Amino acid sequence: MEGASQNPIPIAILLTLGVIFLYLHFTNGSGLMRLLLAGVLALSAVILLLPSFRPDLPDFMESLPKIQLGLDLQGGTHLLLEVKLPAAVSNALRRRADDLNRALAQNKLAPAVVAQNPDGSVTVTLKNADERSAFLDLVDKSFSDLVLSSNPSSGAGPSFKLDFQQREAIQITNSAMDQALTTIRNRIDQLGVRETSVQREGASDILVQLPGIQDPERAKELIGRTAVLEFKLIDDKSPLGDAIKSGPPPGDEILHGPIQAGGAESYLVETPVLMTGDSVTDARVRPGSSLEGPYVEVRLDSRGAETFASITGNNVGRRLAIILDDTVYSAPVIKEPIPGGDVQITGNFSFEDAHELAIVLRSGALPAPVEIIEERTVGPSLGRDSIRQGELSFVVGAVAVLLFMAIYYNGAGLLADFGLTLNILLLVCVMAALQATLTLPGIAGIVLTLGMSVDANVLVNERMREELRGGKSPREAVKLAYERAWSAIRDSNISTFVAGLILFQFGTGPVKGFAVTLCVGVLTGVFSCFVVTRAWYDHKIAKRRLATISV
């Protein structure tokens, strides 16, 4: 049921007919009118279900909703992803250190040397010991989310270790999980896969189910890309060869371009991030030259456009590295300020690579790396076997129940069979109208609903037998049977419905599918097997034709 979309027209039709029926029922309206409405309900349900079982329908019926088959019925891919939350905190801390360095420059202080430690913390070393007090005042005033601790200094100035306050770190991890869920959902939506399931599992895991996808490699690559877009300056003053041999100078890092036939080109890049991809509003593939191939055109929002114009205006003549996930895709020379917020990312892409790059940029960056810790692929043959077994269990159970009711309760049993059939029809129709996903646990929920509905009819029919044995007239027996059975039917169905809500709230995956089917089945069961069957007796009573009851 996760991720199911809704079509309001079928739902409105079913609700309208149901409300009219209930109104007539509780106001003692015409039994014949209620029977006619029951027939219209059944006919509407059949029409709404046609697209789910007959693919060769006229074009005007294509807009009707269909029941979607879950992963266990049609096959597909099951992935369990782990979000590296410590990396999210480390990345956020590094960005905060860059903010601190920019604040130092704005306050006429010398920029500090920033280095990330293996444990994720950040070390900031001042270049001038005389600026220690001004530095501490700035941190205390504008960076209250950080915790400073003294660090042994190997440079000219004092050194400090930066960490987040504990409450800030917790907030960052929570936000990282929310952002990861949203980003992965956005990326999967652009794959065009229907009825996917993306939900949180535990503290740091995300469960992804992709029905119908048998080759998961493309989906895995698209889902797992961090897609952190950064803009940094190339260090043209320091020799790249020396940096490769003896390590980059302080404030620099060595990054590489995409791996190609001749290897990957290396770049000496200044560490400070001038701008990130948070300002990206759109990314589209554009055809390029025959030599370079297609490129990705990125559009920035107004804030990003202003920042990018300032970056290019202040660094004319220098090379600007466009970096995605620590890979330098292009490093063009800034020839003039670039206003307007349009950025081009080139890199000898194929059309498929450029298309996937545009998708991850549009959907946003993951806040931290994602690792696939569990992967299962369900083949379509297994799905077909599951469908056959599920259909067989349902048909056998339904036929056995219908025969039992007809044999044991005679005419009243046949009336109960009509209510049971209408119940299953309405249940499946509501699931189609909600475009819910049908799974094996969902089929189990339908079978359980059938049993619950039988229980309601058994209570009514047994009460009716008792009243007739006690000498009551058929009219009085019907009235008392429905009234006295109602309290037991109401209490059992309410408790079942509440249990279904709890399963839906705290369950995951298949448990939620079972819970949805159970809750919907409780509502349709009470309506069709208690309210609708009563309409037949009310009609016979109104026409003074209820001389005997076959029960």
Q: Give 463 or 7, the one with higher predicted confidence.
A: 463
**For 106-111, what is the mean pLDDT?**
81
Q: What's the burial of 391, exposed, middle or buried (CB within 10 Å: 0-12/13-18/19+)?
A: exposed
Return the pLDDT at 175. Answer: 85
What does the pLDDT look like over 438-485, one tens digit per residue?
777 877 888 888 888 888 888 888 998 898 888 888 888 888 988 888
Return the pLDDT at 233. Answer: 92
| CA pair distance 225, 215, nearest whole angstrom | 17
What does the pLDDT look like over 531-540, one tens digit per residue?
788 888 888 8
pLDDT at 82 over 50: yes
Q: What is the rounded average pLDDT for all residues in the chain?
A: 80
What does the pLDDT look like over 15-57, one tens digit per residue?
777 777 776 666 666 667 877 887 887 887 787 777 777 666 6
Q: Give 131 or 260, the one with higher predicted confidence.
A: 131
Query: Residue 4: which pLDDT band, with cuts at 50, 70 and 90?
Result: very low
At 231, which amino acid appears? F
What does the pLDDT look like over 205-239, one tens digit per residue?
988 887 776 567 777 777 776 667 788 999 988 89
| CA pair distance 488, 492, nearest whole angstrom | 6
pLDDT at 2 over 50: no
pLDDT at 194 over 60: no
Q: For the chain, which domains are there?
A: 8-75+380-542 (1.20.1640.10), 87-166 (3.30.70), 225-376 (3.30.1360.200)
Q: How far is CA 139 from the centre of its chain?
A: 39
* Dihedral Cα 136, 142, 143, 147, nearest 10 deg: 40
Most confident of 28-32, 293-297, 361-365: 293-297
Cβ count near 237 (within 10 Å): 9
**For 298-327, what is the mean pLDDT?**
86
Q: Give 381 or 81, the one with higher predicted confidence.
A: 81
At 24, which amino acid appears? L
**For 254-270, what is the mean pLDDT?**
82
Asked if 182 and 370 count as a contact pair (C-beta separation under 8 A), the reply is no
**For 264-270, what is the mean pLDDT?**
89
Asked if 275 and 311 count as a contact pair (C-beta separation under 8 A), the reply is yes
Plot region of 212 (φ>0 → left; ψ -120 to 50 → alpha; else → beta): left
pLDDT at 1 over 50: no
Residue 456's nearest CA partner among 534, 538, 526, 536 is 526
Query: Residue 269: which pLDDT band, with cuts at 50, 70 and 90?
Result: very high
Return the pLDDT at 191. Answer: 64
Q: Give 546 or 160, the one with higher predicted confidence.
A: 160
Biggest alpha carbon distance in the chain? 107
**For 54-68, what is the mean pLDDT?**
66
What does the pLDDT look like over 475-506, one tens digit per residue?
888 889 888 888 888 888 899 889 988 988 87
Return the pLDDT at 3. Answer: 38
Plot region of 229 (φ>0 → left; ψ -120 to 50 → alpha; else → beta): beta
DSSP letter for 88, please. H
Q: Output the CA–CA distances (angstroms, integers) from residue 510 to 151, 172, 266, 439, 446, in the order listed.
A: 52, 30, 48, 7, 14
What does the pLDDT look like over 123-180, one tens digit per residue?
888 888 888 888 888 888 888 888 888 877 656 678 888 888 888 888 888 888 888 8
Least confident of 361-375, 393-407, 490-504: 361-375
